[in-house]
Structure 1
Amino acid sequence: MKLISLNSTDHYFNQSMELYTKEFPAEICEPVEVFYKSFDLKSKNYERYHFVVAYEDNTVLGFIAFHLEVTYSIGYIVYLVVNEKARGKNIARTLMNEAEQTMKTLCEENGTTLKTIMLECEKDAQGKSHLAGFYDKFGFEQYEINYYQPGLRSDAPVPMNLFVKSIESHNNQQFAIEYIYRTKYGTCNEIDEHIINDLLSNMR
């Protein structure tokens, strides 16, 4: 298995999108155009957006997409997807470790230290996320907050669970959450600012 960090769309990206649309429920599955915008963001500032693919024999085994805001030492894992035919081979673990190490290295190169990593996850009717145990192995804890993902296709917001890993003490965790939320859903998804403000006001 090898890892490659994509800087633009290619055949690995196209394979990744096939996995992505297959694995994620429609209500939280972003239009592929959002990924294009994220690559545009990376072209302007390579530190901010990352798309890492695990592959073997020219076939995608899985991928992880994440944002990093070096100024505030905040990382945000957007997607982690593994091909069902390749599960049980520690691919998800490898991708998670790669993402965290990349964030730490870039922060250190900029004279700071990674403080927080976040990710959101679907939850069931009882408010539980089936991947909670997996994320716990990496030091993530569910953050008690009324968290919603904005509607990605002009539809209703979706209730989610937010998981946070504190690498070092962050003076204002709420600020970190709101900042990365605006970066992801405002800059990349171009969600209306008023919608984002309303959702954030209910998360406090």
Structure 2
Amino acid sequence: MAIRWGEIRCENDIHLEKVFDLFDQTFPIEVRESHNIFLKSLQYARKRKPNNYRFLIGLEDDRLVSFATGHYLSDVNSGFIVYLVTNPLERSKGLGAKTLLKLEELLNKDAILAGNTSIKAIILETEKQEMVHTEEEKEDCIKRHKFFDRNHYKLFEKIDYLQPPLLSGESIIPLNLFIKNVQTDELTKEEVSEVIRAIYKEKYYLVNEIDKNVLNSCLEKMAIDNEGLCN
């Protein structure tokens, strides 16, 4: 498959509608962020340098086959992958791994532009196996975990990670953290705590605008200092 990579950088990009269609087809409504969050993330990228937001798309001819988004967090020299989505008609062709690798390259480029030799680590959230409801969901969850493991992301078990509620009135969600360590064999618990705090500040507070009291409560439950969250 010959993939042409591109990036969405503005709110009127011609590919946005197709991305949102694929996004809506992939995620159930109760866990979907609003489309406006993607647009606010693009605005964030222009204001928070050397932090950045990458909105990668993969095209075959003019057909959207994948997309991925992620934040570069300069304070901790780490990347945070938010979404990695492939067209269901194009799966089992290595497209997910190719898209992930391309996003990693972009985040590493941000790290170098920020004055580092390379990115320190890349982190992502994914569901816990015990949270699934059906055998099909369980199989999909196991496949995702194996996919991340094959691509050098390792489960971090020293913190019981919590994702804040993405929608008003929803509950906190316990999730797994998978980490790809680039500069070291494994980040310490203290280093991962710093990355989580940066994720909460840059993604969930400044972009999603989740109430700081909700975020502070989540951090406290994870035994992570919330100092500087809202600065």
- On whether the aligned pair clears a TM of 0.5, the verdict is yes
The whole-number CA distance in structure 1 between the counterparts of 2:39 and 2:25 is 19
The aligned amino acid for 2:105 is Q
Spell out structure 1 runs of 4+ moving beyond 3 A.
Answer: 126-129
Q: 2:73 maps to which residue?
A: 69
The whole-number CA distance in structure 1 between the counterparts of 2:75 and 2:18 is 33
The whole-number CA distance in structure 2 between the counterparts of 1:22 and 1:177 is 29
Aligned residues: 204
1:34-53 map, 5 Å: 34-45=37-48, 47-53=51-57
Q: Contact conserved, 1:74 with 1:180, CA < 8 A, in 2?
A: no
Q: Contact conserved, 1:67 with 1:75, CA < 8 A, in 2?
A: yes
Worse-matched range after superposition: 38-47 or 177-186: 38-47
Q: Contact conserved, 1:27 with 1:152, CA < 8 A, in 2?
A: no
Q: 2:19 maps to which residue?
A: 16
Q: Contact conserved, 1:27 with 1:158, CA < 8 A, in 2?
A: no
Q: 1:159 maps to which residue?
A: 174
Q: Deviations over 1:88-110 (max 9, x none)?
A: 22221111111111122221232
Matched, 1:194 2:200: no
Which of 195, 198, 201 is equivalent to 1:176?
195
Q: Deviations over 1:75-124 (max 9, x none)?
A: 00000000001112222111111111112222123221311111001223
Which of 24, 28, 31 is equivalent to 2:31?
28
Report the 3-state secondary structure (helix = DSSP H, G, I; strand = E; otherwise coil) of the residue aligned with 1:89: coil
Residues 73 and 61 of structure 1: is their aligned pair in 2 closer, same or farther, counting only changes over 3 Å? same
The aligned amino acid for 2:36 is E
The aligned amino acid for 1:179 is A
**Cα RMSD (Å):** 1.8
Matched, 1:138 2:151: yes
Q: Deviations over 1:29-67 (max 9, x none)?
A: 101111110011122246510100001221110100000
Structure showing greater radius of gyration is 2
**Percent identical:** 29
Which of 120, 124, 142 is equivalent to 2:125?
120
Q: TM-score, normalised by structure 1?
A: 0.92
The whole-number CA distance in structure 2 between the counterparts of 1:123 and 1:38 is 26
Q: TM-score, normalised by structure 2?
A: 0.82
Aligned-residue offset at 1:126: 6.0
Q: 1:3 maps to which residue?
A: 5
Aligned-residue offset at 1:192: 0.5
Residues 45 and 179 of structure 1: is their aligned pair in 2 closer, same or farther, counting only changes over 3 Å? closer
Gaps of at least 5 residues in structure 2 are 133-137, 224-231
